Amino acid sequence: MNKQHFSYADTSVEKLSFPLSIKVVMIDLDGTLLDTAEDLAFAANLMLRELGKPEQPVDTIKTYIGKGLQRLIKRTLTGDLEGEPEPQLLEAAVPIYRKHYADNIHVHTKPYPGVRDGIDRLLQAGFHLACVTNKSERFTVPLLRSTGFYDDFEMVLSGDSLPRRKPDPLPLMHICNQFNVQPYQAVLFGDSLNDVIAARAAGCRIFCVPYGYNEGRDVHDLDCDAIVPSLIEATQLIVKTSSS
């Protein structure tokens, strides 16, 4: 392994020994598996245009991604990560955004480099694969199908699949329970603070990619176990745990 490709976190109390013994690999969608920013921004600007508001640059809207569609809409309307638009404006905006995104969900969206090869290698090695995202199911499933990844996952958890979503640990704990594994036998590949908080709270391992969204912040500031350039290189840091 060429270690210069990787950054290892030294903030964790536990010193990990690589490769980690893992049974389940959980993968975030937006910003980790797929580059969805341009289509998300396109739908947001169509929404703004319909509402008579000025459009925003893609790079700006990219920083709004990470806490689900509702928060993305709020941030787009207010230009503030924690902004709260007028309730009537939000009520009007949500269905408009949903329509435009559904109509344009796979125009520019594409897998990041190394994703397809990484998924194939994980499958060949026998890992259980789960996709865990805050995107609602009405968008998650069509997007995974249209990009050819849906059948690769044994489980897909969307933002509305359970009562709570990331950064709550519930989705990760649910996946571990479904596969009958201990949390330390599962790793989450993600790109944001949401992913790190969820993984730490659940007791799972967490690898982060540097190319995602993370609300415009540097992923190197996150308390992840490793920062990996791509999914194909992340596979070098884990080995399949035997079933015994």
Number of other residues whose CB lies within 10 A of the CB of residue 243: 6
Rounded Cα distance, 96 and 51, in Å: 9
Choose, from 28, 30, 35, 225, the residue flagged as catalytic. 28
For residue 142, say if its preceding peptide bond is cis, omega within 30 degrees of 0: no
Query: Is 103 annotated as catalytic?
Result: no
CA distances from 68 to 72, 123, 134, 135, 243 (A): 6, 28, 5, 6, 35
DSSP H helix total and E strand total for the chain: 9, 11
Q: How far apart are CA 145 and CA 163, in angstroms?
A: 24
Which residues are part of the catalytic machinery?
28
